[in-house]
């Protein structure tokens, strides 16, 4: 079970995402695990659940930053539930705790996380997401998104 300090990639997107977005998220989760990185997310459904399911299918590790107050109120693919009881206020912690972030689609909650990440100089890779800054690097495929994330962590550390 020994792990040591690993690269943590945050995956953000809507809890009520489209089927297509969830498919992308799942593949991103798979790729994060295959690359030996840890996946961190907001612990709920939609993009968050799909990416965790992908990571677990490849024997990866998942951390969830829960908005609610109960350890069990998260998707079933979370290894380590961090209980904030802060509602949407946990969004900034998702950004802060990630070495890089991949945003898939998303609504205003995702926008708040992108804004925080950009404010905190955390690399953001986007797939069909909010287009609010040229600092968001656009990826076309799940594999490319993870490849870019890992590269940006390298140059960021």
The residue ranges that bind its own copies (CB under 8 A) are 1-6, 8, 33, 36, 38, 56, 59-61, 63, 65, 69, 71, 78-89, 91-93, 96-97, 99, 107-109, 111-112, 115-116, 118-120, 130, 132-133
What φ, ψ does residue 32 adopt, rounded to 5°? -60, -45
- Report the residue number, 93 or 127, with the smaller CB distance to its own copies: 93
- Report the residue number, 20 or 119, with the smaller CB distance to its own copies: 119
Q: How far is the CB of 4 from its own copies (least distance, A)?
A: 6
Residue with tokens 């399911």: 53
106 sits in the region (left: phi over 0; alpha: psi -120 to 50; else beta) called left
For residues 44, 45, 48, 50, the Cα torsion angle rounded to the nearest 10 degrees is: 140
Q: How far is the CB of 126 from its own copies (least distance, A)?
A: 14
């Amino acid at each position: 079970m020994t792990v040591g300090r690993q690269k943590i990639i945050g995956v953000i997107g809507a809890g009520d995402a489209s089927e297509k977005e969830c498919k992308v998220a799942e593949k991103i989760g798979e790729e994060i695990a295959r690359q030996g990185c840890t996946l961190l997310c907001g612990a709920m459904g939609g993009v968050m659940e799909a990416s965790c399911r992908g990571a677990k299918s490849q024997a990866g590790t998942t951390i969830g930053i829960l908005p609610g107050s109960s350890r069990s109120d998260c998707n079933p693919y979370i290894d380590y539930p961090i209980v904030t009881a802060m509602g949407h206020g946990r969004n900034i912690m998702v950004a802060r705790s990630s070495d890089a972030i991949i945003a898939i689609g998303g609504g205003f909650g995702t926008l708040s996380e992108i804004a925080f990440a950009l404010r905190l100089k955390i690399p953001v890779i986007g797939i069909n997401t909010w287009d609010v800054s040229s600092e968001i690097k656009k990826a076309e495929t799940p594999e490319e998104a993870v490849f870019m994330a890992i590269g940006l962590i390298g140059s960021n550390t």
